[in-house]
Chain A
Amino acid sequence: MAESPAYTDYHPRWLRRRLSTYWWLEKPSYLAFVLREGSCLFVGWFVVYLLLLMRGVLQGDAAYQEFLAWSARPSVLVLNIISFLFLVYHAITFFDAAPRALSIHVGKTRVPEWIVGASHYAAWVVASALVCWLVLGS
């Protein structure tokens, strides 16, 4: 080793197997992973959508009606239908992971995983009902 190799930040290039850009299409489990991670795009989009809705409401009835008309445009509607599917997928993956991330102990015994998981789903149902009740009015 007479020559001193150039310093690189990461792994030496010659030990790396070239990974295809489309590696996530190779297995269903890889695709599920990418879809789960990709759900964050729809979380971000929906915050933008909420901000637009709030701005419309604040600006008055005309702006609110304009927002409602805009939300019914096919491109926006299709995006929101896809968002709904991704957000449900996001919720399921998050609640399914919760029992593994959250270990709750009562005294010295650990609360069984299914109880932690089930309570998340129960809270989801209650929260969704509360949202509908508040928005739709009694």
Chain B
Amino acid sequence: MIRRQPEPFLWMLFSAGGVVSAMLMPALVFLFGVAFPLRWLPPPDHEHMRGLLGNPLVALVLLGLCVLSLFHWAHRFRHTLYDGLQIKHLEEVIATICYGGAVIGSAAAAYLLWQAQ
């Protein structure tokens, strides 16, 4: 009987999420988290933003970014909690919270981007 190990698959999601978030997030957080709130740059108007979200290609990239980044967070956070705080005995609770949170966040992203189409 083949014993299926989820760890390599989860690691792949972690790794892919790490690359996608590294490529896209610094620019996005700089614009929407720093430059627009500080009025260094004028924020785009609503029509432009709505048009972006309505673009299927942009929506697909955003969905990939959200889903993979959430699993990146879940995997790394889970391992950091085990190793850093030495709480290996809480393994199942932590894994459920981390991956469960990632699944819920992914569903929210899919729902929002589907609505935008």
Q: Is the pair B29, A83 in contact by a Cβ cutoff of 8 Å?
A: yes
Q: Is the pair A68, B108 in contact by a Cβ cutoff of 8 Å?
A: no
Which residues of A pack against B, CB within 8 Å? 9-10, 19, 21, 24, 34, 37-38, 40-41, 43-44, 46-51, 53-55, 57-58, 60-61, 64-65, 68, 71-72, 76-77, 80-81, 83-84, 87-88, 90-91, 94-95, 98, 101, 123-124, 127-128, 131-132, 134-137
Task: Looking at the assembled complex, report how far the CB atom of A43 sits from the nearest CB atom of chain B, in whole angstroms.
Answer: 5
Q: Is the pair A51, B22 in contact by a Cβ cutoff of 8 Å?
A: no
Give which listed residue, A58, A68, A87, A127, contacts B115 with CB less than 8 A: A58
Chain B binding surface SS class: helix
Task: Looking at the assembled complex, report how far the CB atom of A56 sits from the nearest CB atom of chain B, in whole angstroms.
Answer: 9
Kindly state whether residue B41 has any CB partner on chain A within 8 Å.
yes
Q: Is the pair A128, B27 in contact by a Cβ cutoff of 8 Å?
A: yes
A83–B88 alpha-carbon span in the complex (Å): 28
